[in-house]
Chains A and B, each alone.
Chain A
């Protein structure tokens, strides 16, 4: 059983390394993620962010503009997730205390 686990882990590592060898080189300007237009010739959102972020919100940090403004609903969802986590700990831990006492 121990050898089976080790074999599965090695096989998984080999799979990941094989998949990583197919990734594009970092910093290559011809990569698809650096293109202004995608495969089906529509404009990519990332180039719009880089070009217009400062003029839209006067914020030098593009990440803040993307998180707070362009994808504000997404950040709101993340905040709801954290809020839900806190509520769940409150429900689980406080109720167990009352039942024991």
Chain B
């Protein structure tokens, strides 16, 4: 089949529109249960979080809570936001500056009351990641002050 010129144009425009709407619907479907919410131990304590959902848990590693399990590669620690606490476990090599008392963002899921992290971002990372951003704000401020 071949289109008349006028129709061909309309068909192209319509297919572009359909593609756009399709993309939006597809994205909405994908985002519905695949976006990870950023939560704190208080949110978990308040029961706002369903088990098994992808999450990012933010807080501080409570002092004295960091334990290495017998296998040598699993860490167990408590994330706190000052009000509530969440027991967290992580199997793997954490970032070098992951320490007790430092800020942490753990990516993972809640399972039987324990947060099982697949990935850990120590607060240290935020000043260097992504690398392109570096210390820009700080140096920018330095120039401004020096210029005054």
Partners in one complex: no
